């Protein structure tokens, strides 16, 4: 696996000792920021690569490769001569109608600047074999393929978390998107329930209270997201003839405000035979897994590649978790900052991490994870019903301790087949009818769905999946229960739902005081199965039912092979590649377990590969 360490731009004047440390530790390459203003700061057409030529020479002397991060568009990368020109089109927020610092992705003038700068870089370095890969920064605060989140250099320009779609070219793009999909203003008004003139059709604050209608809100987000995907696609088209690996840099957590779709960015990267650099990790493995897994899932589905990077500082324990996440998820490269691994910002050495690459990172990258389980999450639910919060992360952590899983959303489910044996619906899920129909067909064809929340269509109707589960009505609320395992019970009722009279259900876990009042029940649907859990996923009942469904004989389907026993153990995370069982002990204690080949002891804070 490629091990990339990020340093300051123009580091050659202090490179000697640092490069020696990195080479000894197994680092393969060094990343530096190549800002537009640092190669064309003197004026349009006056390119100067001398700073980076010196860096490249220093790397070549130590047999290390270079990873340039080309950033064009964010405020901190843009030359003064362009910022002061009539061609500069800053993004405008919808909250205050004020200009920010970053260039609008809808600007018709920015494309020419990108083309010129990319051509100049390629002309200068074409044939350079010491470049390992190239990163491209197309938007965001630091180059990520997202909109402004916080801004950088506070006070230098207007910046905040929010929606950046108010400049004239964004308005023009929004109207064009609607006209393409609706064909006429009359049809737009009919769908939205409005009586707008063309002048009144413009981006609005995308909240349920501010949007003209629920349908208008979903249309806004679709346009906002597609705009960033299209901008990424255009950028990658300019790089089709580049001889090196190219990574589109993205970040955040796929929040609606960011205008990103990690799944779609992976798809367009794959179309160009390029990859994704996901920049969002911290020190908690379970959180990092959820932040990066959509990229890992989509990259494998579409055939792109990816690498991981932290958002800022990471502690020593967190670094081990990051390495495990990269390796077990199939990353091609692992990025870290010099101050996180070798020496902090105060100059203190970090000797415990100097050997970090030697064990796992020295293995090949692009490992192929073997994953049979998908966890379904929903961008539409985040838009319409709120964000993915702490409770959901805690539930995800418990599921991850039980099994490795891929993360799936509407964008992934809408493209291609569903190649999993089990799908988990632990969170509210809202999707168009065509996706719900695809999920039903997957169940009928042999899939097993574990459902805590019946999926809904975009109007909030869950009748399709309630019918599958053999239930009617709404959840009445479930208190803490003591389940009694029973198989094959007929005549099931439930404290949480009204059960359909003609549904043939099988109680799996019942309330102690009543053997037929089920908290968990199953139902055969043609070739597949549904397992209904009328208890909150944060309740132990859900995890117990999931465990028995995946690894036991709870509903009569062929179970998965247990990666170890006894499973689960808090803080122990299993994964499998095509060739190996990979275990991460995130605890501070050694743990004795039994795997297929016998009993083993996992050292504290360690990665074990069998």
d(C-alpha 226, C-alpha 218), whole Å: 12
- Residue 359: per-residue pLDDT: 65
pLDDT at 350 over 80: no
d(C-alpha 508, C-alpha 531), whole Å: 9
Contact yes or no for 237/273 (Cβ under 8 A): no
Residue 85 CB-density burial (10 A; 0-12 exposed, 13-18 middle, 19+ buried): exposed
Mean pLDDT of 354-383: 81
d(C-alpha 590, C-alpha 606), whole Å: 9
Q: How far apart are the first and last CA of the chain?
A: 18
Contact yes or no for 532/503 (Cβ under 8 A): no
Mean pLDDT of 305-310: 97
Listed range (142-151, 402-411, 482-491) with the worst mean pLDDT = 482-491
Q: Which two tokens stand for residue 32?
A: 């530096």
Residue 424: φ, ψ to 5° = -110, 125
User: CA of 27: how far to CAs of 21, 53, 133, in Å?
Assistant: 9, 20, 14
Position 71 confidence tier, pLDDT thresholds 50, 70, 90: very high
Class of the CATH domain delimited by 2-361 = alpha beta
pLDDT at 77 over 70: yes
User: CA of 297: how far to CAs of 107, 146, 586, in Å?
Assistant: 32, 19, 23
**pLDDT, tens only, 238-257:** 999 999 999 999 999 999 99
Alpha-helical (H) ranges within 414-485 are 433-444, 463-469
Topology of the domain comprising 373-551: Rossmann fold (3.40.50)
Q: Which two tokens stand for residue 352?
A: 């415990």
- Residue 513: per-residue pLDDT: 47
Mean pLDDT of 272-301: 96
Mean pLDDT of 524-540: 86
Sorted by where each begins, the domain ranges of the chain are 2-361, 373-551, 572-609
Residue 66: φ, ψ to 5° = -110, 140
d(C-alpha 505, C-alpha 487), whole Å: 11
Q: Name which of 193, 195, 258 is nearest 229 in CA terms.
A: 258
pLDDT at 266 over 70: yes
pLDDT at 385 over 90: no
Listed range (88-102, 191-205, 509-523, 535-549) with the worst mean pLDDT = 509-523
Instruction: Give the total residue count for the chain.
Output: 610
The residue that leads in pLDDT, 364 or 4, is 4
Contact yes or no for 59/65 (Cβ under 8 A): yes
Mean pLDDT of 493-518: 58
Q: Name which of 205, 202, 168 is nearest 92 in CA terms.
A: 168
Contact yes or no for 159/100 (Cβ under 8 A): yes
- Residue 388: per-residue pLDDT: 65
Mean pLDDT of 36-57: 95
**CA 442 and chain centroid, separation:** 24
CB atoms under 10 Å from CB of 112, counted, come to: 11
pLDDT at 412 over 60: yes
Please name every residue paired with 467 in a beta bridge, in sequence order, or none if there are none.
Answer: none
- Residue 12: per-residue pLDDT: 53
**Helix (H, G, I), strand (E, B), or coil: what is residue 55?**
helix
Cis peptide before 568 (omega within 30 of 0): yes
Mean pLDDT of 453-478: 77
According to DSSP, residue 357 is labeled I
Mean pLDDT of 53-76: 94
| Tokens 């990051």 sit on residue | 322
- Residue 14: per-residue pLDDT: 58
| Tokens 């929340």 sit on residue | 453
Q: Which two tokens stand for residue 307?
A: 């690498």
Q: Which two tokens stand for residue 455?
A: 């999926």
Contact yes or no for 603/590 (Cβ under 8 A): yes
d(C-alpha 521, C-alpha 515), whole Å: 12
The pTM (predicted TM-score) of the whole model is 0.94
């Amino acid at each position: 696996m490629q091990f990339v360490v990020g340093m300051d731009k123009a580091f050659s004047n202090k490179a000697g000792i640092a490069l020696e440390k990195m080479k000894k530790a197994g680092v393969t390459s060094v990343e530096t920021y190549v800002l537009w203003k640092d190669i064309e700061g003197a004026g349009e057409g006056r390119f100067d690569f001398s700073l980076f030529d010196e860096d490249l020479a220093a790397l070549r002397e130590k047999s290390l490769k270079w990873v340039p991060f080309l950033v064009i568009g964010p405020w901190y990368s843009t030359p003064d001569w362009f910022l002061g020109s009539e061609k500069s089109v800053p993004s405008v927020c919808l909250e205050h109608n004020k200009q920010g610092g970053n260039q609008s992705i809808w600007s018709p003038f920015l494309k020419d600047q990108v083309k010129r700068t990319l051509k100049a870089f390629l002309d200068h370095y074409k044939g350079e074999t010491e470049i390992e890969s190239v990163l491209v920064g197309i938007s965001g605060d630091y180059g990520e393929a997202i909109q402004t989140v916080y801004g950088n250099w506070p006070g230098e320009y207007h910046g905040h978390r929010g929606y950046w779609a108010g400049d004239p070219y964004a308005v023009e793009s929004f109207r064009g998107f609607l006209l393409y999909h609706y064909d006429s203003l009359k049809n737009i008004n009919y769908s939205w329930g409005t009586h707008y003139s063309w002048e009144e059709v413009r981006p609005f604050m995308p909240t349920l209270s501010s949007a003209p209608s629920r349908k208008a809100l979903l249309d806004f987000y679709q346009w906002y997201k597609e705009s960033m995907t299209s901008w990424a696609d255009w950028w990658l088209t300019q790089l089709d003839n580049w001889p090196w690996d190219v990574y589109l840099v993205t970040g955040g957590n796929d929040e609606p405000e960011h205008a990103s779709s990690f799944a779609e960015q992976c798809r367009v990267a794959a179309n160009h035979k390029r990859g994704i650099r996901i920049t969002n990790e911290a020190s908690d493995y379970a959180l990092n897994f959820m932040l990066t897994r959509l990229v890992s899932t989509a990259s494998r589905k579409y055939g792109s590649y990816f690498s991981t990077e932290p958002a800022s500082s990471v502690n020593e324990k967190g670094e081990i978790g990051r390495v495990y996440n990269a390796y077990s998820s199939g990353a091609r490269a692992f990025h870290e900052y010099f101050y996180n691994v070798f020496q902090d910002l105060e100059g203190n050495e970090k000797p415990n991490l100097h050997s970090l690459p030697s064990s796992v990172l020295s293995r090949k990258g692009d490992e192929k994870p073997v994953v049979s389980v998908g966890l379904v999450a929903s961008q539409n639910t985040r838009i319409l019903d709120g964000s993915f919060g702490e409770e959901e992360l805690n539930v995800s952590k418990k599921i991850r301790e039980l099994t490795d899983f891929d993360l799936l959303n509407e964008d992934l489910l809408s493209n291609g087949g569903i190649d999993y044996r089990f799908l988990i619906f632990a969170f509210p899920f809202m999707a168009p009818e065509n996706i719900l129909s695809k999920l039903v067909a997957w169940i009928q064809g042999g899939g097993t769905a574990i459902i805590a929340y019946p999926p809904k269509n975009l109007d909030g109707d869950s009748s399709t999946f309630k019918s599958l589960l053999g239930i009617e009505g709404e959840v009445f609320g479930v208190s803490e229960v003591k389940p009694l395992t029973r198989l094959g019970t007929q005549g099931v009722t439930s404290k949480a739902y009204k059960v359909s009279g003609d549904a043939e259900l099988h109680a799996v876990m019942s309330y102690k005081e009543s053997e037929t009042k089920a908290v968990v029940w199953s139902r055969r649907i043609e070739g597949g199965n549904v397992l209904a859990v009328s208890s909150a996923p944060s309740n132990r009942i859900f995890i117990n039912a999931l465990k028995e469904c995946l690894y036991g004989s709870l509903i009569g389907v062929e179970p998965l092979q247990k990666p170890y026993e006894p499973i689960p153990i808090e803080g122990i995370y299993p994964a499998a590649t095509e060739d190996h069982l990979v275990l991460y002990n995130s605890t501070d204690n050694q743990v004795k377990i039994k795997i297929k080949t016998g009993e083993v002891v996992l050292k504290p804070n360690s990665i074990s590969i069998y």
